[in-house]
Structure 1
């Protein structure tokens, strides 16, 4: 067994961890899988409620059929996942591992055939109109150690999002300069840009 269920649940849901008591539809789970794949990858625990209670799954086969429908037909381009069944007090929990993709962006396809990009912002799967692909490596250490960026990270650890206007007010710089810095940090993979609905908001890419 590769996974310690108790340790995973103790972490709580976040950028790279999602709990589902059951999969209601393949369409809905496609959003979660797409978001994880487009962001930093992660794990999906099926058979665990939002509050961390282990309920287990009634049928491993039925749950995985919905996962496979989502990965093969409702995500474009298709993604590959792996899974393992872990038992806790006789209750089976499916641990699905979703790697961060090299083929971004992936689109989730809904019941009407609409295609939407999703990204992971803390413990939520959020739609966005476009995914800003990141450059290799984080920004230089001097930038990361600047007071403006440290303040930004501190605020985003406590809040889901920030806009350029809010950031400008926070660190007392122009909105233009704030927007430019937020986009720069997004390009380097520190932040995610979410532009649905307006105004454009920014979130930490990884919060753990």
Structure 2
């Protein structure tokens, strides 16, 4: 399933949208890691608006490893010129 289809589905138990990197990203990833997993789309607002993520992906991966001790799959899909990070 591609990112556009995920966004159309909307948020749910295993799908979260986060507009930007902040503490709630780590809380969501921690919750996913301690349950049955899930997908976090970084650069997408709660309403499905695509804002894009302009941060450094290596720094993001290091930050997640440092803060949570996990190595999640991190992919990027470009939609209308905006990078959406799939974690």
Size of the alignment, in residue pairs? Answer: 87
1:34 deviates by 0.8
1:7 deviates by 0.7
> Match of 1:9?
7
Does residue 85 (structure 1) correspond to residue 57 (structure 2)? The answer is no
Provide runs of 4+ in structure 1 moved above 3 Å.
none
Residue deviations 1:78-118, cap 9 Å, x none? Answer: 2120111101111111111xxxxxxxxxxxxxxxxxxxxxx
Taking only aligned residues, the RMSD between alpha carbons, in angstroms, comes to 1.7
Q: Residues of 1 paired with 2:16 and 2:72: CA distance? A: 15
Q: 1:15 to 1:64 in 2, by over 3 A?
A: farther
Greater RCO (CA < 8 Å, at least 6 residues apart): 2
TM-score (norm 1): 0.39
Residue deviations 1:102-158, cap 9 Å, x none? Answer: xxxxxxxxxxxxxxxxxxxxxxxxxxxxxxxxxxxxxxxxxxxxxxxxxxxxxxxxx
TM-score (norm 2): 0.85
Q: Any conservation in 2 of the 1:29–1:67 contact (CA below 8 Å)? A: no
Indicate the structure (1 or 2) with the bigger Cα radius of gyration: 1
Residue deviations 1:6-44, cap 9 Å, x none? Answer: 1100111111111011102xx442211110011110111
Q: 1:64 to 1:30 in 2, by over 3 A?
A: farther
Q: 1:45 to 1:16 in 2, by over 3 A?
A: same
Gaps of 5+ in 2: none
Correspondence for 2:17 among 3, 15, 19: 19
> Match of 1:73?
66
Q: Residues of 2 paired with 1:64 and 1:16: CA distance? A: 24
